[in-house]
Structure 1
Amino acid sequence: MQIINARLRQRPELFSIQIEQGVFHKIEVQRQVIKATAQQIDAEQNLVCAPFVEPHIHLDAALTAGEPEWNQSGTLFEGIERWRQRKPMLDEADIRRRVLATIELLVQNGVQAIRTHADTTDPTLIGIKTLCAIRDELKDKIDIQVVAFPQDGMLSYPNGLALMEQALEIGADVVGGIPHFEYTRELGEESVKTIISLARKYDRLIDVHCDEIDDPNSRFLEFLAYQALRFDMGDKVTASHTTAMHSYDNAYCSKLFRLLKNSSINFISCPTESIHLQGRFDTFPKRRGVTRVKELLEAGMNVCLGQDSIFDPWYSLGNGKLLRTLDFALHICQMMGYQDYRQALDLITDNSAKTLCLENYGIKEGHPANFILLEGEDDYSVIRRQGEVLLSIREGKIIMQRQASKIVTLDYLMD
């Protein structure tokens, strides 16, 4: 397979990309536009990009909004209550149907790797079992990591710790947590210590729902970062959401950032969901309730973006398009300078791959030939136009393809 007339990120030239046996064999500069043969794929000067990575989503809850009731207040906490109502309705067939439909939606929009959370505060652990089974079944088609996530608290939920260990024994890839939802500060800190201990015992990654609240006194992030630093495992640790950071004062943040940078932990922001759920107790002024994405990036930390939900009790919209999430983030986080645009796709590609510890990711000779073709010639044009994903190739095989959007002008304004 050969791709011609391709653009690559941060490069002005055209490129020809030769793929052999599912691997990038040669990536060479083209001197001019080439007319494609029947054996070649013409990128038509669109952007060849590493695949999108969805680092934070709850597939077990996807496509359940309104079942049995809608989240009328729009709060995180009512979302948890609505999900608690939905859990007794879960079975393998129900989860499998919704998960596969959502994965298909993500694949259609350029995603080739997913980290999904699965609730462990369910005595049957049906979500964990089903998602681990789907992960194994689809391992040759898409990369999936399953997070054992104690939605109602690891230590505050009856038998929660035993269920977490059982989930890890079943095969969950990542240890999750939610320290701010534990009953007390002490239980929250103990849960973080337990998360670290379990990850070391089972050799797993860590992804914690951390300070997903507007409370400026919710400061489990510093505790998580210190534990990661203490045990030298920061690159394997992720703090998701951290929305309380939007309520921290600058004096505290200046101290906190030193620890965060030294810890080397990763950050995931879910801007569409956070701006919807947070600030619900404010009248005016009303907080955005999204973590300090721009400031974290400027401090040299690894930050990526996730969708979090697709049509579930916490967020009743969502269409599988990470470019939509990126567009929201740039607006909400006031990252609208041209230099922000030039690097923006990092937030849903390279940075996410680093967070998931994916190996051999990216467009490089010798790497697996995994990539997507985006409508546009660079990061800026793709984002401005919200261009379509035209092609998705995994290990040299086409897994999704669509035609570029075509607009027929009828000279309406000239009549």
Structure 2
Amino acid sequence: MTGQPRLLLRNGMSPVGTGGSAPIDILISAEGRMLDIAPGICASEVMSIDVGGRLVTPGFVDMHQHLDKSFTLADAPNRDGTLMGAIEAFRAYSKGLEKENILKRAEATLDTCVAMGTSAIRTHANLDYELELKSVEAMCELRAKSRGRIHLEVVAFATSSAARGDLAVARELLERAIAAGADCIGGTPNLAPDPRNYIDMLLDVAERHDRCVDLHIDETLDPGARWFDYLVEQTMRRGMGGRVVGSHVSSLSAVSDDEARRSIDAAAKAGVAVCTLPAANLFLQGRDRRQLVPRGLTRVAEMLDAGVPVATASDNIQDAFVPVGSGDLLEIARWTILAAHLMEDATGRAFRMITDTPAQIMRLGADYGFRAGAFADLVVSRSENVGRLVAGGAADRSVMHRGEFVAGPLCAIHTAVPA
């Protein structure tokens, strides 16, 4: 790699699988990219920081959040604990929301996520008749304001309010959102009068503007709600593999194994990725059951085995959809292991679901990862290895974005010494 060296991280530990680690130094360029990763790097006339034997990993990637809703639980409580209850609660509350309020809460949430080690977020911003473009505009403003701390993607999320209206009006809202700076196309086809036409419209807009698609789909335990299959079929027909995500896909857990296998194999062939959201699914799904209450997640392990890219993410934080949440993706990884019954290489799989896999789905490419040439978006933590990090977390975390510490105790090191 070429580039002017600027900083040397010394005395770190690099993950070896999930159960081991090895000594490592990292040489970082003036552009914030990793030039070299090796033990005992010698670099003259650059500043250095001794990280004290801490574990160094890539930053975490939270590919499904709702920053515009976070920390609204007190003002918009979910009275019955259901998905529709949450939707109605926030819809009523959002009628009085202004962009400044959305931006203030979202920025506070983002600060928390950065401190926990998150280096990239894809946030779904409500696009509907109550808020119109307020959420999208707020998130685009936050994206510009936070470039020095985190990579932020904005999904124009055509909600159920938009879905229940005229299809042409929903399309017009999406076009306005893209003009305002939205990166991706989102929506809730299951709640539209005609889910098939709604999926077609969302994909049409995405194709026209060369955008990725990330849909809330089949977020129910009704085995008859199977619009994920149509999304997969259309992705294959349009050649959009690698650009489409189905989030939730909970109803797949309610069908027969054979039927599920057909859907999973088709998704793998079409190049459709899945994002599971354990916090929301555990809280909202199965409220009507009194015995053998289901977990509400999709078939995570079977999808992983079939080669479907599966990420896990926070979804909502302390709002009507999820009343808890800390912004810590390691917590989400642990919940995924438990709720999805991950067994073989559980911590490794869960770690990849908050790092490499969502980075791949978000098409971060060579800019992301623990390799020369990637940006130095890193988490430096007191943990023995990745397995321990996922299983128990780490109270001591320092977070680096593009070669600059943006959170944690190593931020306090103002005077580095020559290597």
TM-score (norm 1): 0.90
Instruction: Find 1:375's aligned residue among 379, 382, 402.
Output: 382
- Find out whether 1:348 has 2:349 as its counterpart: no
Give the alignment partner of residue 301 of structure 1, picking from 299, 308, 329. Answer: 308
Question: Could you tell which deviates more after superposition, 374-383 or 257-266?
Answer: 374-383
Instruction: Tell me whether 1:13 sits opposite 2:22 in the alignment.
Output: yes
Conserved 8 A contact 2:16-2:22:
no
| Structure 1 match to 2:170 | 160
Q: Distance in 1 between matches of 2:253 and 2:51?
A: 41
- Closer/same/farther in 2, CA of residues 86 and 180 from structure 1, 3 Å limit: same
Offset of 1:167 from its aligned partner? 1.3
Change (3 A) 1:30 1:294: farther
Q: Secondary structure at the match of 1:175?
A: strand
Post-superposition offset of 1:262 = 0.5
Secondary structure of the 1:60 match is: coil
Q: What is the CA distance between 1:44 and its match in structure 2?
A: 3.3
2:292 matched to which residue of 1?
A: 285
Match of 2:3 in 1: none
2: CA distance, partners of 1:13 / 1:116 = 35
Matched-pair contact (CA < 8 Å) for 1:344–1:379 = no
1:252 to 256, 259, 271: 259
Match of 2:188 in 1: 178
Pairing 1:77–2:87 present: no
- Aligned partners of 2:165 and 2:351: how far apart in 1? 39
Conserved 8 A contact 2:235-2:272: yes
Q: Which runs of 4+ in 1 moved over 4 A?
A: none
Q: Unpaired segments of 5 or more residues in structure 1?
A: 404-415
Higher relative contact order (Cα pairs below 8 Å, separated by 6+ residues): 2
Matched residue, 1:149: 157
**Distance of aligned partners of 1:195 and 1:6 in 2 relative to their CA distance in 1, 3 Å threshold:** same
**Contact 2:253/2:296 (<8 A) preserved:** yes
Paired residue for 2:37? 27
Shift of 1:39: 5.1
8 Å CA contact 1:154, 1:191 repeated in 2: no
- Does structure 2 retain, via aligned residues, the 8 Å contact 1:154–1:161? no
Q: Can you list the C-alpha shifts for 1:13-50, whole angstroms capped at 9, x where unaligned?
A: 2111111212212211359xx9xxx9533333332111
* Superposition RMSD in Å: 1.9
CA separation of 1:64 and 1:155: change in aligned 2, threshold 3 A: closer
Per the alignment, residue 274 of structure 1 pairs with 281
State the Cα distance separating 1:235 from its structure 2 match. Answer: 0.5
Matches of 1:74 and 1:277, distance apart in 2: 6
Q: Residue by residue, what CA displacement relative to the aligned partner does 1:35-66 show, whole Å, maximum 9, x if unpaired?
A: xxx95333333321111111001111111113
- Does the Cα contact within 8 Å between 2:336 and 2:350 map onto a contact in 1? no
Once the 2 structures are TM-superposed, how far is the Cα of residue 318 of structure 1 from its aligned partner? 0.8
Q: 2: distance between equivalents of 1:61 and 1:229?
A: 33
Q: Is the 8 A contact 1:372 1:389 kept in 2?
A: no
Q: Say if 1:110 and 1:389, in contact at 8 Å, map to a contact too.
A: no
Q: How far did residue 253 of structure 1 move? A: 0.9
Whole-Å separation in 2 of the counterparts to 1:375 and 1:351? 24
Separation in 1, partners of 2:317, 2:265: 35
Distance in 1 separating the partners of 2:221 and 2:209: 33
Gaps of 5+ in 2: 1-6, 411-419
C-alpha distance in 1 between matches for 2:391 and 2:137? 41
Q: Is the 8 A contact 2:267 2:273 kept in 1?
A: no
1:99 partner letter: A
